């Protein structure tokens, strides 16, 4: 309750103040910050997926600016010989105002990454974007079969059907690569499971379908129960290590992350950076059960 109240107040607080307890979730505001954090993770045998923050853009100049930033990020990452992929949010490239411009812009980014043997994953946004983001994935998959992936959300009732549809589209090539996560947006009950139990049950149903059908699974969760469920399914399906990986967000549950890495499983951390950190951090703060405590501590630390 108090967490909800504080989240509602966040837009009214000075940004410098919100930054104090947000900065644990982002590498920093500049490319060099993302590079430094990724290098540190790589030194701990953890891969990264770098994400430039910003979403729901409507201005062509801004869309071009973000594209150039991604191109620069890819070049910097290659020059620094880092082990990372990239994540993109289609609304950053105008998905909701000009679908063709968005598809063309993301294609340029994927082409640049693929030319260096790098991988780009299309993040999944709210349900007004689901069909368009799946279509975009299918188009790019035909052109860059080994360098593009998608995210699906276990809270959506449609997700198992989407997996079946993608499997049919793949026609036995074994190219489908999905990050499965719970889902972060506030969706209506007709479309989305609402209780933790239902979402977790669906997550494991989706994951088992992926394991059974040779869909590469990026298991994105900090929920211990789901990590244990994934271990169980891996044993049951005798999964090969090169058909799945775990993924976590930067700054969240480092102990659980270490326990997975110590078992020898592949781990990739989502490393967001950029000047547009506010919306992303607000979503993370909402999910943090200790948020109220964090903010109260920040108030006192500030004096
Ligand atoms: C790599 C990655 C990529 C993602 N990409 C997308 C995407 O494209 N689209 C999308 O809709 N969602 C995405 N998400 C977010 C996801 O949908 C969930 O909202 C988020 O991961 C929280 O769900 P959870 O499985 O960790 O379970 P939860 O039940 O939310 O969390 C489990 C436990 O983890 C800890 N925890 C979780 N979040 C925090 C936090 N912020 N601060 C401190 N502790 C925390 C708590 O101990 C909590 O009890 C992504 C998540 C990850 C890990």
Residue 89 burial (CB < 10 Å; 0-12/13-18/19+)? buried
Give the residue, out of 23, 130, 223, with the most ligand 1 atoms within 8 A of its beta carbon, to mutate for a pocket test. Answer: 223
**Cα of 221 to ligand 1 centre, how many Å?**
6
User: Does residue 302 register a pLDDT over 60?
Assistant: no
Q: Give the C-alpha separation, 280 to 168, whole Å.
A: 34
Among residues 128, 90, 130, which one has the least CA distance to residue 110?
90
Higher-scoring residue by pLDDT: 60, 256: 256
* 51 carries an active-site annotation: no
Give the residue, out of 133, 200, 221, with the most ligand 1 atoms within 8 A of its beta carbon, to mutate for a pocket test. Answer: 221
Q: Could you read off the pLDDT of 73-108 as tens digits, one per residue?
A: 999 999 999 999 999 999 999 999 999 999 999 999
pTM of the predicted protein model: 0.94
Q: Give the C-alpha separation, 203 to 281, whole Å.
A: 24
Q: Give the C-alpha separation, 155 to 192, whole Å.
A: 5
Cβ of 88 closer than 6 Å to ligand 1, yes or no, is no
SS3 188: coil
Q: Give the C-alpha separation, 222 to 256, whole Å.
A: 7
Among residues 25, 3, 13, which one has the least CA distance to residue 299?
13
How many Å is the Cα radius of gyration of the chain?
19
What pLDDT does 303 receive?
34
Catalytically annotated residue among 51, 123, 162, 206 = 123
Cβ of 178 closer than 6 Å to ligand 1, yes or no, is no
* 201 carries an active-site annotation: no
Q: Could you read off the pLDDT of 4-18 as tens digits, one per residue?
A: 777 778 888 888 888
What is the chain's length? 303
Cβ of 121 closer than 6 Å to ligand 1, yes or no, is no
Residue partners of 179: CB distance under 8 A and separation at least 6? 121, 149, 150, 151, 152, 218, 220, 247
Cβ of 183 closer than 6 Å to ligand 1, yes or no, is yes
Cβ of 270 closer than 6 Å to ligand 1, yes or no, is yes
Handedness of CA 199, 201, 269, 258 (dihedral sign): positive
DSSP secondary structure letters along 192-250: B--SHHHHHHHHHHHHHHHHHTT-EEEEE---HHHHHHHHHHHHHTT--GGGEEEEEET
Question: Mean per-residue pLDDT for 113-139?
Answer: 98
């Amino acid at each position: 309750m108090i967490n909800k109240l504080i989240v509602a107040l966040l837009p009214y607080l000075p940004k410098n103040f919100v930054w104090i307890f947000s900065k644990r979730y982002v590498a920093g505001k500049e490319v060099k910050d993302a590079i430094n954090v990724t290098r540190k993770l790589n030194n701990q045998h953890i891969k990264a997926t770098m994400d430039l923050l910003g979403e729901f853009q409507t201005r062509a100049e801004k869309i071009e600016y973000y594209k150039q930033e991604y191109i620069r990020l890819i070049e910097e990452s290659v020059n620094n010989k880092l082990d990372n992929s990239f994540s993109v949010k289609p609304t950053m490239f105008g998905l909701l105002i000009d679908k063709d411009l968005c598809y063309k812009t993301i294609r340029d980014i994927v082409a640049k990454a693929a030319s260096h043997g790098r991988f780009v994953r299309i993040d999944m946004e709210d349900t007004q974007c689901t069909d368009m983001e799946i279509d975009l994935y299918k188009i790019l998959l035909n052109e860059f079969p080994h360098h593009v992936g998608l995210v699906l959300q276990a809270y959506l009732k449609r997700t198992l059907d989407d997996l079946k549809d993608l499997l049919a589209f793949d026609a036995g090539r074994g190219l489908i690569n999905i990050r499965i996560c719970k889902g972060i947006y506030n969706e209506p009950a007709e479309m989305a499971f609402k209780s933790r139990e239902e979402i977790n049950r669906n997550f494991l149903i989706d994951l088992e379908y992926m394991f059974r059908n040779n869909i590469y699974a990026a298991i994105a969760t900090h929920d211990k129960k789901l990590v244990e469920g994934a271990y169980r399914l891996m044993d049951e399906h005798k999964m090969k290590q090169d058909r799945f990986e775990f993924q976590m967000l930067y700054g969240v549950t480092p102990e659980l992350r270490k326990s997975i890495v110590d078992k020898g499983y592949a781990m990739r951390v989502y490393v967001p950076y950029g000047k547009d950190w506010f919306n992303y951090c607000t979503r993370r703060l909402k999910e943090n059960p200790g948020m109220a405590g964090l903010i109260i501590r920040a108030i006192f630390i500030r004096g």
